[in-house]
Chain A
Amino acid sequence: MSDHSSIDSSGHEAPGNDSHAQDIAGHINTYMWIFGSLLVGTVLTVLMYYVDFSSMAMTVAVALFIASIKAFLVAAYFMHLMSEKKLVYSVLLLAAFFFTGLMGLTLWGSFDLPTNSIHKTSYVP
């Protein structure tokens, strides 16, 4: 909470002082690396589409794994979640809890699906 050296822009430092500017320059380097990694991740995601993983579950797992890594890079570095304040983490923890609950319900629901309830009339094989 008292980490004034990080660039959290929470009003501790005036813009434009020298050590601060150097600090930022270092961050810009990181942003460029993340940019490159995200583009590589995108290419990997697309290449994965042309690989036959034998099962759909595996295909989904690989795709979501790559997407999660990309999402982590964006959240951790561009959104500065690497060095955020405790209150922000608390808010996100709450969101994570409810999101997990939502997906848990989805999983639960998928064991008890209504059959043929959608579009009965549009296409008949």
Chain B
Amino acid sequence: MEIPYTYKARPDTGLYNAKVGIWLFLASEIMLFGALFSAYILLRVSAPVGFWPETALAWPRGLLNIPIGTFNTAVLITSSVTVVMAWASLQMNKFNHFRIYMVITVLCAFAFLGIKSFEYNDKFSHYVVQTKSGKPVTGHIEVNGKHPRFWNFSDQWTLARLTAENVKEISVAVDPERDEHGHVKSHSNHAHENRTIATDDIQFLGSYTPATHPFFAVYFLITALHGLHVLGGALVLAYFAFPGAKMWKDNPQQFINRIEVGGLFWHFVDLVWIFLFPVVYLL
């Protein structure tokens, strides 16, 4: 028996099966990301003041690289446009244009993921150090003349580990100073000055990872889940662009529908990022 409405619209709803399916799925995705945003809000408003040492704020601001985040936003928006252009190209029977747009979309997706992993790498080796005698500092640290390796989680440093391994001092490439809003102070020296801090003087040492602050827990959780969506979407779109494109010859309308449905998912991923970017980078 043939399954009805795989490419023809059902007369009463005006929709083909996959379109109903994708919208139901996206509705569930709204709830999934909504729940995580809700967790973010509750963690943030319940964080005690002074919880983030550097600025005596409860919640750190401005720790992520805004130029890189902005660029990545533009990359994702571009891919959203190219995927809708790919779909429009098929509607105009221009298969070659379709393939070019799909390739650009997939390239944008991988560019986004590449840039994101560069940012992750930076955070894993970035530390906040609270000294007993002075203001807290942040920056990349060196222990025994070596940078902790980001890909090795057992290479993360804590005060307990410094003491246990009898490390006398660490070196910090100090970040520019920030005001109480998390903005870099205009008069501050942008060159990263190296400072040596004795282990005895350290009250708290933590990398920019979930163990140090719930901000990083929420940041890594939501952006990694979003990243998985980007990866999944990119793989599906790449499949449609090459092996899956065989369908264009046998059943063009169903193929156009597939591109539309894949595109809807892709736009949703872009939508999540549109909210995620200001929430984790700017607010």
Contact = CB atoms under 8 A, between A and B. Distances in A.
B85 A110 contact: no
Interface in B33-80: 34-35, 38, 41-43, 45-48, 50-51, 53, 56, 62, 66, 70, 73-74, 77-78, 80
A21 B92 CA distance: 5
A103 B34 contact: yes
B190 interface: no
A114 B43 CA distance: 10
Given A95-B30, A99-B31, A118-B47, A113 B42 contact: yes
Nearest to B92: A21
A79 interface: yes
Interface string A1-21: 110000111111011100011
A95 B77 contact: no
B257 interface: yes
Given A31-B88, A35-B81, A103-B38, 15 more contacts: A1-B13, A15-B91, A24-B91, A28-B85, A28-B88, A49-B62, A74-B80, A91-B24, A92-B27, A95-B30, A99-B34, A114-B46, A118-B43, A123-B206, A124-B204
30 contacts: A2-B14, A8-B14, A9-B260, A11-B7, A11-B9, A15-B253, A24-B91, A31-B84, A31-B85, A42-B77, A46-B282, A49-B282, A67-B275, A67-B278, A74-B271, A86-B13, A87-B15, A92-B23, A92-B27, A98-B31, A99-B30, A103-B38, A110-B45, A114-B46, A116-B48, A118-B214, A119-B51, A123-B130, A123-B204, A123-B213
Interface of A: 1-2, 7-12, 14-16, 20-21, 24-25, 27-28, 31-32, 34-35, 38-39, 42-43, 45-46, 48-50, 52, 59-60, 63-64, 66-67, 70-71, 74-75, 78-79, 85-88, 91-92, 94-95, 98-99, 102-103, 105-106, 109-110, 113-119, 122-125
